[in-house]
Chains A and B, each alone.
Chain A
Amino acid sequence: MPSDAPQIVRDICERWVGRIGAPISALREVAATLGAIEQAHMETVADVFNLSVAEVRGIVSFYSDLRTEAPGRRHIRLCQAEACQAVGARELTAAVQEKLGIALGETAADGSVSLEAVYCLGLCASGPSAMVDGRPLARATVRALFA
């Protein structure tokens, strides 16, 4: 975490002031930039947007992109929704969990990898779908995920 994080957060917030849904957009950018949203960041967001810290915590806890814990260095998201279920997403998920030794929603103890559920990436005609470090993967297999 860079030591000037609070200033980065304030800069991000100020870029969003006046835009629609601004507190959410600012928090999304904070999470994407810094990896996770911390208490001090929420206080800054509350200050800039004239909200209570409780309101900001409420927003953060509602949206899954507004992470409060940074993902592992490698971030694997596996689609768990119906179209992917129909072509083996459950089996793929079980195999990936077994290979990594962590369950969905967990990060490896050494921070090397996190595994997360996602509900639809819109690649439903070519499942199962995954996203690895932001890169979408169609017709995912264990081999393709760890290539």
Chain B
Amino acid sequence: MSIAYVPSETLANALGANEVAEALAARGHEVVRTGSRGLAWTEPMIEMDDVAYGPVTNIDELEAVRLGPVDALPGLAQQQRLIFGRCGGRDPFRYDAAALREWLKRPAADILADVEASGLRGRGGAGFPAHIKWRTVRDTPADKKYIVVNADEGDSGTFADRLIMEGDPFRLIEGMLIAGRATGADAGVVYLRSEYPLAAQTFEKAVAVAERMGLLQGFAIELFIGAGAYICGEETSLLESLEGKRGEVRAKPPVPAVAGLFGRPTLVHNVITLCAVPAILGMGGDAYAALGVGASTGTMTFQLAGNVRRGGLFELPFGLTARELIDDWGGGTLSGRPVGAAQVGGPLGAYLKGAELDAPLTYEALARLGAGVGHGGVVVFDDQVDFIEQARYAFAFCAHESCGKCTPCRIGAVRGKELVETLRASEQPAGELAIISDLCDVMEQASLCQMGGMTPIPVRSALSLPQGTQQ
């Protein structure tokens, strides 16, 4: 009887994958639990004899949900899955370490040269060139250096970190070990949010396998589970939290690459940034840089969510627009109504509307709109979106999540929320909007971190206010 590949991934499980796996096993199938292919509308999606079926609710009616051969699946076949290539359709714990062993033999300077040539930029939100951080950590003398992985994936509309940690945890371990080799760090810590218990389990299991395979070679990997604080996705807040303290942000400089965890040079990267590194070493930095557009090189793991028919994760070279992503990949809105806006890059990202939806989702093109790519999340709203409410929510979320250390964020978010609340009933909305715009200026220019500094982005875009002076 054929082997049934069934995802064990939080979304698929929430939609019944565990029950499907049990039913298939009871029927005599060998069941292999896998990562997800990321096509959320097909979950639970199972694979047998290289054919996909989904969403599977009743294993007696598989033919009714036959999707076709896996390697020709619409929405999957045209992706360029450099990072997610091994995710789905296979046992994530059966790991062939041959490539990794070769990479770890390469001289550090050689690895750094590839990372620099790739043009890789941070996928967590800031988009900072990765190689500069790597060199800084390498060149800063210290008795101890760390690799810290930011898996505190709190942005609404994002789930790439979770999908890779649940579906191909070795990809992250590879990235950490290579980064350790290149920077001279001998310890790595993953900061994972507590909302992702399955990712914690799969990652810890993979670390144990890697240890048994002798891959760690003295590199210590530790997993830390967060305790519920969005701000801990900000790198200095995250470091404070790892030191066992309140997650209050630190003033920069010094940057973490010089003085980070426990004051030591620390390479802080988002999960996906590090997961791109094995792909870069595999194909060569130049080949990676040939993908994408301008200084937005390589692939981005776009995550399409919200009011969309076919949401999920699509790994594609930079260059496509939000509208292409929503219409061509996502099949338009779930409600069937016209697109009203797409919020790109999480709660601190802009609401793109109208012609802005036709701008390429690149660092440069979005910066010109006062927006950013962030972690690659694209949240679709239909034309019923209430922009005043979305602006109010942006301030309210900032007020809820602010660490409280700096005044513009702590007080500004509260005042901003109150101002937006007066807007609807106001007889002088132009006056209110001018005050909101001023407040946004202050938050942008004087906040310690991007929580206060970028909350004006969704506010301004939702209310169609002019762009800020400083991003």
Contacts and interface: CB of A to CB of B under 8 A. Distances in A.
B156 A21 contact: no
Kindly name the residue among A63, A82, A120 whose own CB sees the greatest number of chain B CB atoms within 10 A.
A82
A125 B11 contact: yes
B347 interface: yes
Contacts of B397: 81, 119
Given A58-B246, A121-B195, A124-B311, A20 B306 contact: no
Contact of A119 (B11, B156, B307, B311): B156
A15 interface: no
A55 B240 CA distance: 13
Contact of A86 (B245, B347, B379, B403): B379
A76 interface: no
Interface range for A: 35 or more
A87 B313 CA distance: 18
B241 interface: yes
Contacts of B308: 125
A59 B84 CA distance: 37
A113 interface: no
A118 B195 contact: yes
Interface string B397-433: 1001101000000000000000000000000000000
Interface stretch (B114-122, B178-186, B221-229, B273-281): B221-229
B286 interface: no
A64 B228 contact: yes
A139 to B, nearest CB: 8
B247 A82 contact: no
Nearest to B187: A20
Given A82-B379, A83-B305, A86-B306, A138 B227 contact: no
A129 B259 CA distance: 39
A59 to B, nearest CB: 6
Kindly name the residue among A122, A126, A131 whose own CB sees the greatest number of chain B CB atoms within 10 A.
A122
Nearest to B16: A138
B193 to A, nearest CB: 8
Interface in B161-197: 162, 189, 194-196
B204 to A, nearest CB: 13
B257 interface: no
A49 B243 CA distance: 12
A86 B381 contact: yes
B447 interface: no
B57 interface: no
A27 B225 CA distance: 12
B76 to A, nearest CB: 14
Contact of A87 (B10, B195, B334, B347): B334
Nearest to A124: B305
A25 B156 contact: no
A105 B400 CA distance: 13
Interface string B70-109: 0000000000000000000000000000000000000000
B379 A124 contact: yes
B208 to A, nearest CB: 16
B245 A59 contact: yes
A49 B195 contact: no
A71 interface: no
B312 A125 contact: yes
B318 interface: no
Contact of B247 (A19, A62, A87, A135): A62
Interface in B127-175: 153-159, 162
Given A86-B385, A136-B10, A126 B15 contact: yes
B242 interface: yes
Contacts of A65: 194, 226-228
A8 interface: no
A82 B157 contact: yes
B227 A63 contact: yes
Given A65-B194, A86-B307, A87-B307, A22 B244 contact: yes
B11 A81 contact: no
Contacts of A139: 15
Nearest to A19: B222
A100 B162 CA distance: 32
A122 B247 CA distance: 22
23 contacts: A19-B224, A21-B242, A23-B244, A58-B246, A62-B246, A66-B228, A81-B157, A82-B156, A83-B306, A120-B154, A120-B195, A121-B10, A121-B195, A122-B158, A122-B195, A123-B159, A124-B157, A124-B158, A124-B305, A124-B311, A126-B15, A136-B11, A137-B14
Given A83-B377, A124-B305, A138-B14, 12 more contacts: A20-B242, A23-B244, A59-B245, A62-B403, A65-B226, A82-B347, A85-B306, A85-B381, A86-B379, A120-B153, A123-B14, A125-B40
